[in-house]
A and B are shown apart, each in its own frame.
Chain A
């Protein structure tokens, strides 16, 4: 991390497996840096205070709200965003399940839900419905399509177990 002027910094980090260097303002949140400095606009700004989960990303292997992380904190860290979930071969089973179960309406919460769901299934491959709902309680869907989302989560778990 290099400070270039009073409040500009060069950040070296790894995003979606790729090393990257970018210029940020020290006051940037990780969400702002992803969207405005790096051009990864999959993580969404919903509440900007840690309540809605629309900005969910993985930071060093842990699910976090990127609006509640300072960009400067990711120096030397590893970040995975929704853009890093699919592989070159195609969609991740969680993405496929959200499509097949039509688990989205307006779509604003969807990237956050998919990142959070992948984190759930990586840690608990066979969640009960209650466990899935508890894990995802920090992700809000203002269209209130929760039942379809939970169906997609459980369906993805089944697919990934095969």
Chain B
């Protein structure tokens, strides 16, 4: 491990102050499952960890009529283990349930998953379709960043030096809305997505009034696939409209060949997973 210091912040303001004093090599420490490994393997130069897990706002979860707020330090097991989240934000529960194994889920957070900005991040497609917005604190105060604008490429995001995610807000979804998330990996658990996808559908009878589709691990950042949503919105949900959305998803995907999968496989999976998530989201919207 590189030489580094550890400090514990008791409030958001104190964390901002510590990060400002630490400069560009200071990083917040929440679950640590990415950042500690990156520090040890010297993939990021880190000289100060500011532990934000002793800040109430960072560790709390709040369901209100206007929506759900999850502190950036809340571990995954508390998210998918919450019955209200599983019911109202199914895509979020489904994605957080399979990030890493049990021991990772005891620590890892969605704040970290978003900030780490992996193209294959499992929670990010769910955050996209759920309309999630990150609250960021920093030397210039607070600002809100939609999840869809947060990551700018593999491992990079919009956070400026000294800024960190305090919490993530999920607006309440309209009635008759369903969401779903899926991924493909070659084993049953503990693997990085070859491709992942999420869908949100709002239905009025059999007509789709609003649709959102997101795809992961097929581009430098998670894709918000407008064309796939457009193939569904304002029309009755039919095999033909779902097939058109799947084609749009395949067309939008610009994957690479790597050890986890080929371009051909990932484009194919984009269609399959988008179709599956649409069908499951629709079932939930009707229920």
Contacts and interface: CB of A to CB of B under 8 A. Distances in A.
Contact of B107 (A6, A68, A75, A135): A68
Contact of A53 (B40, B77, B101): B101
Contacts of B32: 68-70, 73
Determine the interface band of chain A, counting residues with CB < 8 A from chain B.
Answer: 35 or more
Contacts, number: 93
Contacts of A116: 102-103
A51 B108 CA distance: 13
B94 interface: no
A46 interface: no
Given A63-B106, A65-B104, A69-B107, A26 B36 contact: no
Given A134-B189, A137-B190, A63 B103 contact: yes
B40 A48 contact: yes
B104 A138 contact: yes
B264 interface: no
A29 B103 contact: no
B1 A27 contact: yes
Contacts of B104: 50, 65, 68, 138
Nearest to A72: B6
A10 interface: no
B106 A70 contact: no
A28 B5 CA distance: 10
Interface in B1-44: 1-6, 8, 29, 31-33, 36-37, 40-41
A119 B102 contact: yes
19 contacts: A26-B4, A26-B5, A26-B6, A29-B40, A49-B41, A63-B106, A64-B107, A68-B36, A68-B104, A69-B32, A70-B6, A72-B8, A73-B6, A75-B8, A116-B103, A133-B188, A134-B189, A135-B102, A137-B188
Interface of A: 1, 6-7, 9, 26-29, 48-51, 53, 56, 59, 62-65, 67-70, 72-73, 75, 116, 119-120, 133-139
